[in-house]
Amino acid sequence: MKLRDEREAVVAHARRMDADGLTVGTSGNLSVRAGDLLAITPSGLPYDQLTPDTVSVVDLEGRPVDAPLRPSSELPMHTAVYRETAATAVVHTHPVFATVLSTLVDELPAIHYIIAHLGGPVRVVPYAPYGTEELARLGVEGLAGRSAVILANHGATTYGADLAQAYTRTEYLEWLCRLYVEARKLGEPRLLDAAQIAAATAAFADYGPQPRA
Ligand SMILES: [Zn+2]
C-alpha cells in the first residue's frame, strides 16, 4: 500500500477530529504530504468507516494515484496550500466558534498570545462555494504569513509541518475564537499589539521540552 504511515496518520487524526467535535457529520477533511504525493480523506465517508485503505493517495495536481474512493471535495484547497506554502499537512474543519466568527467579523484579532502560534491575527476570507478553485485561491490568499485561515460562512483551514502540528493549530484557533466570542459578550476585549505578538513568537522559538542546563 502506498503511503501506509501517512494513511494511518490521516485515519487517526480524522477520528480525533470527529471525537473532538471540530466538525459535524462527514464534513471536514485532512491530508498529509509525502514527496510528490498526498494522502487525503475520501469524500463523504463516515469517520467510523474510515480505514487506511479507504484513504485517497493523489499527486500534487490532485490526480488519483491510489484512490479507491473519490478524494475529499476540498482537494483543490489542499493541493493549493501545498503548492503555495511550506505545509506538510493540512486540516480543514467546521468548528463552531470559528464558524460563528466567520459570519460576524473580517479577522480574529490578537486576543491572546497563543495567536502567535498561527502567525498573528487570523483573516476571514470571503465566501465561495465549497470544493471550488475560487475557495482554494481565497484560502491560500488568507494564509499569507499565517498558518490558519477562517472561511466565511464555512469553517477553517490550518497547516503545519506534520498532522499533529496542523491539528493542534486547529485546536488553538477554535479555542481563540471561543475566547473572543465569550469576551465580546461582556464588552470590548483588550487586544495585544504587533510588538507583543512578535515577543510571543520569539519566546515560542525557545518553548517546549528542553534538556536541563
Ligand atoms: Zn468545509
- Identify the residue whose cell numbers are 478524494: 71
Task: Count the Cβ atoms, other than its own, within 10 Å of residue 206.
Answer: 7
Cross-sheet strand order for the sheet of 37-40: 64-66, 56-59, 37-40, 29-34, 89-93, 155-160, 148-151, 122-125, 107-108
Indicate whether 210 belongs to any domain. Answer: no
Q: Does residue 212 lie in a domain region?
A: no
What is the distance in angstroms between the CA of the first residue and the CA of the last residue of the chain?
45
Dist. CA 174 → ligand 1 center (Å):
15
Give tens-digit pLDDT for 142-176: 999 999 999 999 999 999 999 999 999 999 999 99
Question: Is residue 80 assigned to a domain?
Answer: yes
Split into its structural domains, the chain has a count of: 1
- Grid cell for residue 133: 478553485
Which of 32, 57, 44, 41 minimizes the C-alpha distance to 167? 32
- Give tens-digit pLDDT for 47-76: 889 999 999 999 999 999 999 999 999 999
Q: In which band, very low, low, confident or very high, does the pLDDT at 92 lie, cut at 50, 70 and 90?
A: very high
Rounded to the nearest whole angstrom, what is the distance from the C-alpha of residue 60 to the centroid of ligand 1? 20
Q: Is residue 213 part of a domain?
A: no
Structural domain includes residue 211:
no
Task: Decide if 113 is inside a domain.
Answer: yes
Phi, psi of 68, deg, nearest 5: -65, -30
Q: Distance, CA 99 to ligand 1 centroid (Å)?
A: 10
180 within a domain of the structure (yes/no): yes
13 occurs within a structural domain? yes
Q: Among this protein's residues, is 171 annotated catalytic?
A: no
Domain that holds residue 144: 4-204
CATH number for position 13: 3.40.225.10
CA of 28 to the centre of ligand 1 (A): 5
The one catalytic residue among 6, 8, 61, 74 = 74
